[in-house]
Structure 1
């Protein structure tokens, strides 16, 4: 099961090549690699410019974005030393200033339901995913660094999602232990689920702790806070709730940020995420 299967039609539109700004002296090349989050947020839009590029332009950051993300792909596929994905990434990274990687969601969707069927607990399956992803993602980021010692790599875990109508079904399929059996009575199903999904943020944090070329940013809780949840802060999500319905709607397959304006700022969830990414990463790494 792929992380983007439920929104295949949308992804056909959103996976267009990213807009490349006119080459000027101060621009920096950004390579975006990974799964459908990369295509949705950095692969173009109805306005002909991606949410990533729009945020950069809003802060006067000239840039050249090369998007090689492929919807539905896994870290297992991108880490294969004999595969086309890694060779394409290494080639692109050789001339890049920044490499943004979005991966692991599809690995979770592929591995966790089958792990649950073996009788392992949610935490045991989460440990299995974490260990595998530290290994696979480590191989990917190290290959980028080997190709270009000057390139900066950035990554982040997926935000608190699945709040749209009917989206809980996907969450329950990912970690069914949290909704049935003994674990359901140990803690709330949503907290159980969120605790394991957040392990993907932990992978980025672990990798960044041993690699000075890698930055792990944390956007968790952003859309919850924007929804008025007083228990959520950016970087400190409310584990007892999923992401708000307007931010992770069913029309985006429950796992991609909404594109309709919300709140006083009149920003979509996609725009909010890219604005916060600017705050946490581009404003310093790009110095613009």
Structure 2
């Protein structure tokens, strides 16, 4: 592994951290160490990093801003690639925008609204990166990424890059092709529409206000934990089961919204996993409905798994 670190430094890939606690890089503030955390300085460095990873046969995964992610207390083996400022470019060409995978979704929605472009109002409170939003087809308020994305530039594990169309990304509810393949969304192209700037900003503010009064951002959390088992809604089922405020260890079902688990007391990933299982079992027993997690659960297995 010393050879790998030396290669990273010789190639000037970007920031390299060893045994970096991933609790520092997730919105839940939970997660053991990454063997290596690498933040490439630009797209070319990211491509070079992928080649080095293949040559050294090292396992890898990518993160953006760390939302929608539960990292094991034991951490992650191999390389965690963090898409940060080096991959957060933004180009605006009329009603079309091209944006880097590391760009903040909330920041993008704000910037675009001020340009009088409509289509991203739904994303004004989604606390992730553009790459992560494409990966999971993030959505809210009746819309999602698939409604505005025309194509995405994807880096595959073999080091090749290819533009995939909306159709090729195989979007569905909170899923995309990228969840089935080892690949990274390096940049995305969105088709927006010119609109009334004041009206766009008004809608965005309304969406942000709704999130502020209905969702618990006063504690570390990862967003919605469960996919909605349509026509039911996960949060409503959890609340009907009387689980609001239920706590295991440092993890608690939010007293504000049933589909959020909050870190109220230095929670461990194991606390969250046990709470998730308790919720799933309770909903199955009471309503005969199976609910599945929306958050991605990653990392080395716990000793007690």
TM-score clears 0.5: no
TM-score, normalised to structure 1, is: 0.33
Task: Report the TM-score when normalising by structure 2.
Answer: 0.31
- Larger strand percent: 2
More helix by proportion, 1 or 2? 1
